Structure 1
């Protein structure tokens, strides 16, 4: 590491994992309707009118909870949906040829969780006139004949170059969220999916009255199978996935390695204390900030009208798939909520029903093994 470079501990502030201890809140209804009001501690001043203002207490007050444990893979989440609705069937023989080509073309292995070690390894990164190059990615670019795959590789290389520049003190800020959105969009294109900005979706279908407040959602992205591109903005919507992308450079959501280890230890200590809590902590709270999780849950609920009819009208239970993207790590999610539960929320009635959001372990688009798994999962998302 060159003189003046950031310490590893400071650098780790930018890595995509976070330990955020969960605090249980009690929500109380208020009479005001301020955009800045939210669930805080033991009080609740009116329901926040935007999901971006939610915290986990807002979500749980609606009877929506995250599952306690990770599912091992995205395919586990998709299989749950397939078994009940027939949506997201396994890849066809034709699709498998495309999946195989993508896997063969993308051989680089640059896990973002190991970025510190790699940026100090001369075999992984070579420096020339103040510019950083990544030999593994360069190799894939040179060997690749697909324009779409090259575009994905370029996006990954640019993001890594931006992070390297931050690491070596050549720039003040870590890479922006937009770079991760672009990587995700280009990866989705490889798998016959198109992405639509949440801001482009129908306002009528991205709002819902909750606790006597009109709540709006603006998801970062909505994914749609390529073959439905002509009917994307028609009355019959065809979304298969609602995506939330977390801000990487938000220090509130990131902690140093020491801070993360301490937070994890605190969580374990609280579990050992039987007087405080006798249950295991919800695992996703150790990876994603709970405010992001609350917003994502709200986005899934409010955007339910955007989904393909196979997911939204074929069974008494709604199956609402999504993704949470933290840097280059992708977490598949699934909200299972009964229609009666939704109706009670719409009618401002008290409900004792519970909806669950299931989720997969994070998979890194820059890690070869994870990426191969994601290629198949993203391809299955187009099978609806």
Structure 2
């Protein structure tokens, strides 16, 4: 049984992170002379439409998906949508499919879920109030005064969290066991997020440096714990492997989210959400004002190939299907500094069989749907994702929460 305790201590444009974190420049590497064989292999990852697709398909479906680019992904029949889907619609069917899986064997599940939805509304309201002092606003540059302002605001937020919790919980008898347990998990998560966030700002200010990719991934991990989710960092010892075109293909996402408790019916594993982090030095969006028509290919940044990032994420979603509790559906997040894009790969069953049988699939047999970008340091963006995140988090914890029913 998992034990959680709460012991807290003392809209703007999202064309870039509100704190404008920029990864340090990478050192230049000497270009090595390619042999004829290595030159052919390197071409496997180029985005040249004139290059023979059969060669790309035959050579690029193996090894680790971190080597994939968008052309490799398309060669296995997976395409990204032309425009974004509203987040509420993007995850709707997946959340509906997850419901009977996590509630299997639980009596009076409708009553139990109604109770959880009531608690969810309270969590959303409390989160909005507790995090409003952390809104990054319109900050566009890293100045010492900006760092100090954010650092002070972070610790003020800790006090607000405690006050909010006292108002919500009051005396131990004011709420049932289930509500107190959920608020305890939530309180621990939001407190840890505030402290990591404030500590990161202080460190960057003291050392006068920019943030790096691992720090942003860790910030996302702490942020997601607020929503009762269970993040696990990618581990090479727990890599996933799929046979594609007769070649073993492996994947180790940056972060995985799993179910909690005995929630693995049908002998499936418990992965629910897969995260790929992009290592960007600088980035922006094209035509943000038309967010509903956002096309993920409009991402513009320096420091990493967009085609490589999209190919890697698509490959991770594909291979993670073997670990997903949702049959032939894999949920994901592309994390770029403090901005997240939610994704959903829906695999056509026949398409999956073709991939496993080494048959060349038709292009576009399966698609990756995605949301517009949301920066979780910006109040407006953050509030737009609260309902979906809490909904998913509660479903992931149903089994462990059921133990605390009165």
TM-score norm. by structure 1 comes to 0.69
Matching residue of 1:333: 343
> Is 2:77 the partner of 1:63?
yes
CA distance in 2, matches of 1:38, 1:213: 15
CA distance in 2, matches of 1:99, 1:85: 21
In the alignment, which of 262, 280, 297 is matched to residue 285 of structure 1?
297
> Is 2:95 the partner of 1:54?
no
* Aligned pairs for 1:1-384 within 5 A: 14=22, 38-40=44-46, 41=48, 42=51, 44=55, 46-47=59-60, 48-72=62-86, 74-82=87-95, 92-111=117-136, 114-117=138-141, 119=142, 124-126=146-148, 133-145=150-162, 146-164=187-205, 170-171=207-208, 173-199=209-235, 202-203=238-239, 206-225=240-259, 227-228=260-261, 236-248=268-280, 251=281, 254=282, 283-287=295-299, 289-308=306-325, 311-312=326-327, 318-352=328-362, 354-382=365-393, 383=395
Contact 1:51 1:216 in 2 (8 A): yes
Change (3 A) 1:136 1:49: same
- Report how far residue 332 of structure 1 moved: 0.7
Change (3 A) 1:134 1:334: same
CA distance in 2, matches of 1:369, 1:163: 25
Change (3 A) 1:282 1:105: closer
CA distance in 2, matches of 1:302, 1:224: 16
SS in structure 1 at match of 2:270: coil
| CA deviation map 1:176-196 (0-9, x unaligned) | 222112211112222111111
SS in structure 1 at match of 2:128: helix
Contact 2:22 2:212 in 1 (8 A): no
* RMSD of aligned residue pairs (Cα, Å): 3.5
- Report how far residue 84 of structure 1 moved: 6.2
Contact 1:197 1:222 in 2 (8 A): yes
Number of residue pairs aligned between Structure 1 and Structure 2: 308
SS in structure 2 at match of 1:134: helix
Contact 2:375 2:381 in 1 (8 A): yes
CA distance in 2, matches of 1:157, 1:358: 34
**More deviation, 57-66/103-112:** 103-112
Change (3 A) 1:201 1:283: farther
Structure in which a larger fraction of residues adopt helix: 2
TM-score norm. by structure 2 comes to 0.66
Contact 1:191 1:379 in 2 (8 A): yes
Contact 2:294 2:372 in 1 (8 A): no
